[in-house]
Structure 1
Amino acid sequence: MTVEQSYALAKEAYGKWDVDTDAALEILQTIPVSIHCWQGDDIGGFEVNKSELSGGIDVTGNYPGKARTPEELRSDLEMAMSLIPGRHRVNLHALYAETNGKVVDRDELEPVHFKNWVEWAKKQQIGLDFNPTLFSHPKAEEGLTLASPDATVREFWIEHCMKCRKIAEYFGKALGTPSLMNIWIPDGYKDIPADRLTPRKRLKESLDAIYVEEISEKYLIDAVESKVFGIGSESYVVGSHEFYMGYALTNKKTYLMDTGHYHPTETVSNKISSMLLFSDKLALHVSRPVRWDSDHVVILDDELKEIAIEIVRNDALDKVAIGLDFFDASINRVAAWTIGTRNMIKALLYALLMPHDLLKRYQEEGNYTARLALLEEFKTYPFGAVWDQYCVKMNVPVGEKWLAEVEKYEREELFKRTPEVLTID
């Protein structure tokens, strides 16, 4: 049976519930996912005075072929995007600046250091998002940056973040789409603190200083990201969920929720509807935590589906900025991008193919039997046939056929970067 024949049968099955599969595919084309550049080089970046990875972040694995230069990283991103249906975005960190061999510290970064990224994004017809990098730096070695008791350290990182806002504004102006700039910091203590309040006061004051300049949301969307704990901050994180949620709501900033940054029994999907009641915008970093914030490649699991469902059923596709954040060096990095991003898009399609109005009505009527029955039955509806049709429509490989393209790219490009040779089986 051809893809088109399978799709015709799926369209009929969904149509019995007034779910328009053609309309779902049209909507899906309009949803951008922000693909994180740091999967491609294990969060190494291109600074001349590169520091060891730090800030509670760890990347495991040593699969051959990681990007060593900006050109290689952009080539790898292009390869991944050629296998991912739809038009998406790329998310950069400040340590991916290009300084032509000159030592430029982070408080000295300027838009010109990202000119090549902008020119590339123009050719790809995509937007760019951005993050200041407050880790892997001598001034972050003590585990405190914007909340540091050392005023000179705080001032350095405040200046860095201010410079990053101007870089993100440059992205927005040059590319015609606002750049979401997200601040995450590693600040915290390994053991029980004697004072939880003072570091948070300093963080609040630092953020106030960073945001003193008003920049139009036409070009820049400011976001802040919390975390429950990290390596080196197991007992206390300055930028907690409550801190950043309060700061974002009070100061009209976008609150960003990372799926690995909460207690194991918490789910981001359950938080989305509450945040939407009080926020005009919301941002996500989607990863797959395994026991902790381990940033595994996103798979099509129940929580990913539920995140997508919450966005779709609440008509929030224009309110929630979806980004990815995982880094796995144990597998082919281009494949990691492809798997994770395709799964995020699959989850959105799955959500678009549900009769949400009917399910809501069942709930309001107290018909919980029909609600549960239908939710379960739709799990085995022919979603895969609709996904395959979308891939055909977007001119990307159907099913697992993309893997052969990655294998070919690996042989012809990635293995040239290393003497080791592995194969994908």
Structure 2
Amino acid sequence: MPSTDTTKQYEAAKAQYAAHGIDVDAALKKLSEIKISMHCWQGDDVRGFMNRDQDLTGGIAVTGNYPGAARTPDELRADLEKAFSLIPGKHKVNLHAIYADTDEKVDLDAIEPRHYERWVEWAKAQGLGLDFNPTCFSHENSKDGFTLSHADPKIRDFWIEHCKRSRRVGAYFGEQLGQTCVTNVWVPDGFKDNPVDRLAPRRRLKDALDEVFAEELNPAHNLDAVESKVFGLGAEAYTVGSHEFYMGYGLQNNKLICLDAGHFHPTEVISGKLSSLSLFAEGMLLHVSRPVRWDSDHVVILDDELYEIGKELVRGDLLGKTHIGLDFFDASINRVAAWVIGTRNTIKALLQALLEPTDLLRKAELEGDYTSRLALTEEFKTYPFGAIWDYYCESQGVPVRERWLEEVKAYERDVLAARA
């Protein structure tokens, strides 16, 4: 339970928000129901456990050599548990296919739900949901930069089979855990230099996706998403799965459309796309990240774009059709701390949006009172949000403010430092 001092500050702050018709208790209840899908690959630098000796491909690069990366599924789960103990709320874990936990030697085109049973058992015990992704990179069959759009039908069929099986794993997660699994398809396919034929690879990708999604699965167990990218290392000139391609495919085939914060041109932001896409899409998946200069997947900070994402989701009542996931990987800092910083910041941005006088601002806008709209928007930036956040953290049994860092430092000293 929150301390007396925290409660006093909370009650005082709550009264200030209430003066503008904001029900803080209701906002915190709504916040507690939002699940963030925390990505497992921050914990081990996207190595996975199936082909750990395979070089990273697909334009993926992790920089830094901070000690303590997880080497086994048990270590990764322990690190995730530590991170979740410092994050308010109950959330989800986003797995890539290469994180199978099995003693069996299996390739990507042969994965089955049993290869992930230990993850499901752990998620049940922790009260967490699981999301999933086929891993179409860092494999012998992806070394030339093409997977589902490959010109060789044998290689293309390998990846089609992998994605089919990934969907079944996702459905297994959803059925077992009682929380819908979002299975997200992203492929790195593209050319380093200018192609002659832009159409044929996209036609092959469309046909391959049609095969992947042919099997009907219970949407209560599994929802499919497709993710675009503007370019990648080794695919600087042309990416098969562009935003236009996947937006068209998702709308036509009732798939969730994934917007990754780093997968667009440097002057584009995904917050500005949400309202338009929400009118036509079955639903949306967000990969909240922080691009620096471009798709560099830095740890999420509480910057303007994160605030804007939160505001768009709340102002437009889009939380019900939007799945929020994280996607960054930084090996230059403590990996558990990276999870905690990014996830807590994402939740903070949502809380800030929930504490905004949206109805009042909308009324001023409709009446043409743009002076009040601007003045109130600016004044609310310095309202006592911190007191509300502290109360929420204490009520959820997690450390307030930077106190969580002491626990991460102790975990680094007692656990991470012992890893070679």
TM-score by length of 1: 0.97
Amino acid at match of 1:80: A
CA distance in 2, matches of 1:71, 1:159: 28
Tell me if 1:45 matches 2:48.
yes
Tell me if 1:22 matches 2:25.
yes
Amino acid at match of 1:108: A
Following superposition of structure 1 onto structure 2, how do residues 98-113 of structure 1 map, counting pairs within 5 Å? 98-100=101-103, 102-113=104-115
Q: 1:36 — aligned with what?
A: 39
Deviations 1:54-106 (A, max 9, x none): 11000000000010000000000000000000000000000001230x42110
Q: 2:159 — aligned with what?
A: 157
CA distance in 1, matches of 2:111, 2:81: 26
Q: Verify the 8 A CA contact 2:255 2:282 in the aligned structure 1.
A: no
Q: 2:411 — aligned with what?
A: 409
Deviations 1:272-309 (A, max 9, x none): 00011112311100000001100000000110011011
Does the residue aligned with 1:154 lie in a helix, a strand or coil? helix
Amino acid at match of 2:128: I
CA distance in 2, matches of 1:324, 1:189: 27
Q: Verify the 8 A CA contact 1:41 1:68 in the aligned structure 2.
A: yes
Following superposition of structure 1 onto structure 2, how do residues 159-238 of structure 1 map, counting pairs within 5 Å? 159-238=161-240
Matching residue within 87, 97, 100 for 2:100: 97
Does the residue aligned with 2:329 lie in a helix, a strand or coil? coil
Number of aligned residue pairs = 417
Deviations 1:247-278 (A, max 9, x none): 00000011010000001111100000001111
Structure 1 spans left out of the alignment, 5+ residues = 419-425
Amino acid at match of 1:29: S
CA distance in 2, matches of 1:49, 1:294: 22
Does the residue aligned with 2:402 lie in a helix, a strand or coil? helix
Q: 2:359 — aligned with what?
A: 357
CA distance in 2, matches of 1:280, 1:155: 28
Deviations 1:383-411 (A, max 9, x none): 11100000011010001000000011111
Q: 1:67 — aligned with what?
A: 70
Q: Verify the 8 A CA contact 2:51 2:98 in the aligned structure 1.
A: no
Amino acid at match of 2:98: L
The farther-off stretch of 45-54 and 209-218 is 45-54
CA distance in 1, matches of 2:413, 2:251: 49
Amino acid at match of 2:91: H
Does the residue aligned with 1:130 lie in a helix, a strand or coil? strand
TM-score by length of 2: 0.98
CA distance in 1, matches of 2:52, 2:133: 19
Amino acid at match of 2:107: D
Flag the 1:350–1:118 CA change in 2: closer, same or farther, 3 A.
Answer: same
Amino acid at match of 1:68: R
Task: Using the aligned pairs only, state the percent identity.
Answer: 60
Structure 2 spans left out of the alignment, 5+ residues = none
The alignment yields a C-alpha RMSD, in angstroms, of 0.9
CA distance in 2, matches of 1:117, 1:50: 22
Matching residue within 329, 332, 350 for 1:330: 332
CA distance in 1, matches of 2:140, 2:222: 28
Amino acid at match of 1:409: Y
CA distance in 2, matches of 1:341, 1:64: 21
Q: Verify the 8 A CA contact 1:188 1:232 in the aligned structure 2.
A: yes
Q: 1:319 — aligned with what?
A: 321
Q: Verify the 8 A CA contact 2:289 2:298 in the aligned structure 1.
A: yes
Amino acid at match of 1:91: N
Q: 2:79 — aligned with what?
A: 76
Matching residue within 114, 119, 122 for 2:121: 119
Q: 1:366 — aligned with what?
A: 368
Does the residue aligned with 1:278 lie in a helix, a strand or coil? coil
Matching residue within 291, 307, 310 for 1:308: 310
Does the residue aligned with 1:180 lie in a helix, a strand or coil? strand
Amino acid at match of 1:404: E
The list of structure 1 runs, each at least 4 consecutive aligned residues, that deviate by more than 6 angstroms after superposition, is none
Does the residue aligned with 2:37 lie in a helix, a strand or coil? strand
CA distance in 2, matches of 1:5, 1:49: 52
Q: 1:58 — aligned with what?
A: 61
Amino acid at match of 1:286: V
CA distance in 2, matches of 1:127, 1:290: 30
Cα distance, 1:48 vs. partner? Answer: 4.9
Cα distance, 1:325 vs. partner? Answer: 0.3
Q: 1:6 — aligned with what?
A: 9
Following superposition of structure 1 onto structure 2, how do residues 254-333 of structure 1 map, counting pairs within 5 Å? 254-333=256-335
